[in-house]
Amino acid sequence: MNLNHLAIFHAVAEEGNISRAAERLMISQPAVSKQLRLLERSLSATLFDREPRGVRLTEAGRLLATYAARIFALEAEAQRALGELSGLQRGRLAIGASTTIGVYLLPELFVQFRKRFPAIDVTLEVASSRTVQQRLVDRAIDIGFTEMPIDEDSLEAKCFMSDQLVAIVPPRHRLLRARRVTAEAFCREPFVVRATGSETRSFVERALLERGLSFQPVMSLGSTEAIKRAVAAGIGVAIVSGLSIGLELRAKTLRTLSIAGLNLSRPLFQVLPKESTRSAALAAFVELVKTSAKQPDKHS
């Protein structure tokens, strides 16, 4: 069935008059009549009885008119839905993030995004960088944020901000009274570290080793939250993401320590599938992340 013929039939059925349907469709009356005849011929059915003041649907015409009304109502609904999608009035966005980014950076951005676009269904998965990478490869999420580079041909990664790693100590630690603290002196302190398998721990250890520094762990813990509590309790010192200590600094349960000659930072990556169509919701979230990354002070 020719959908153009069906659209003309639908207009005539609604108007009950060929001339008014022609005006509505902005085509000539003979053209409408011709298309109707072609439709009737293709269906082997008479759809209208012609009357002096218009047309009247036959039984076959009434049946077809019911289906035509459904078809064009769905077409209008599809157009509205696509308009709402591009206008961020509906849609979904699935995000994956490694722990530091997912716990300490993205929640605030989620709040901002939901306030601006409350109709968008947003989900966040927090996992290791490798898991986030695989979820992107499987197209289970739309965008990922990781703390380590991505080695996958189907994905593209770019650094969206730098994460400053900071030395933390308890509020009354003796090194806070020193005029100058060297990296060697700091590394002689008992260290609280992330458990094996953490990308953060690997980065810190590698950075210290590259500088000829070593340290002796007194406790190995599985999360940054546990490390911060251990340091606050006086068990030792640590190096953690600057994104993670805003609350503790405001509450004065931790202090940061400036270490001479030790400036550690790492790139944080935004990862997307290559050659994929990016929704309006995804574009809006990427822009929000970009804007936020230009304001690093708010995360510390």
Residue at which a domain ends, from 53, 86, 119: 86
Q: Are 65 and 45 in contact (CB under 8 A)?
A: no
Residue at which a domain ends, from 67, 86, 105: 86
Residue 297 has pLDDT above 60, yes or no: no
241 and 219 in a common domain: yes
Q: How confident is the model at residue 299 (pLDDT cuts 50, 70, 90)?
A: very low
As a whole number of angstroms, the distance between CA 117 and CA 283 comes to: 12
Residue 227 has pLDDT above 60, yes or no: yes
As a whole number of angstroms, the distance between CA 239 and CA 248 comes to: 14
As a whole number of angstroms, the distance between CA 123 and CA 285 comes to: 12
Q: What is the pLDDT of residues 96-130, one digit of tens each?
A: 999 899 999 999 998 999 888 888 888 999 998 88
CATH number at residue 81: 1.10.10.10
Query: The whole model's pTM is what?
Result: 0.69
H or E stretch including 114? helix 106-116
Beta-strand ranges (E) seen in 58-182 are: 92-97, 121-126, 143-146, 155-169
Percentage of residues of the chain with pLDDT beyond 90: 56
What range does the domain containing 143 cover? 92-160+267-299
**pLDDT value for 103:** 93
Task: List Cβ neighbours of 293 (8 Å cut-off, separation of 6 or more).
Answer: 160, 161
**pLDDT value for 89:** 67
Q: Could you give the count of Cα atoms lying within 13 Å of 102 in the half-sphere of its Cβ?
A: 20
Task: For residue 31, count other CB atoms closer than 10 A to its CB.
Answer: 12
Task: List Cβ neighbours of 245 (8 Å cut-off, separation of 6 or more).
Answer: 166, 168, 228, 254, 256, 300
Give the DSSP letter of residue 194: E
145 and 275 in a common domain: yes
Tokens at 286, concatenated: 């990427």
259 and 274 in a common domain: no
HEC letters along 210-231 = HCCCCCCEEEEECCHHHHHHHH
195 and 143 in a common domain: no
Rounded to an integer, the average pLDDT of 51-71 is: 90
Q: What is the pLDDT of residues 150-190, one digit of tens each?
A: 888 899 999 999 999 999 999 999 999 998 999 999 999 99
Report the number of distinct structural domains present in the chain.
Answer: 3
**pLDDT value for 216:** 83
Q: What is the pLDDT of residues 24-50, one digit of tens each?
A: 888 999 999 999 999 999 999 999 998
H or E stretch including 264? strand 264-273
- What radius of gyration, in Å, describes the C-alpha atoms of the chain? 32
**pLDDT value for 27:** 92
261 and 168 in a common domain: yes
The residue assigned the tokens 């197209």 is: 139
Task: List Cβ neighbours of 151 (8 Å cut-off, separation of 6 or more).
Answer: none
Tokens at 182, concatenated: 């060297």
174 and 112 in a common domain: no
Residue 300 has pLDDT above 50, yes or no: no
CATH number at residue 234: 3.40.190.10
**pLDDT value for 132:** 93
**pLDDT value for 84:** 61
Residue at which a domain ends, from 86, 115, 143: 86
111 and 73 in a common domain: no
82 and 14 in a common domain: yes
Q: What is the pLDDT of residues 79-102, one digit of tens each?
A: 766 766 666 767 888 999 998 999
**pLDDT value for 222:** 82
As a whole number of angstroms, the distance between CA 283 and CA 48 comes to: 50
Residue 298 has pLDDT above 60, yes or no: no
Mean per-residue pLDDT of the chain: 88
Q: How confident is the model at residue 213 (pLDDT cuts 50, 70, 90)?
A: confident
293 and 233 in a common domain: no
Q: Which residue, among 172, 171, 164, 148, has the nearest Cα to 244 in the 3D structure?
A: 164
81 and 102 in a common domain: no
**pLDDT value for 212:** 87
As a whole number of angstroms, the distance between CA 177 and CA 255 comes to: 12
122 and 209 in a common domain: no
249 and 208 in a common domain: yes
Percentage of residues of the chain with pLDDT beyond 70: 93
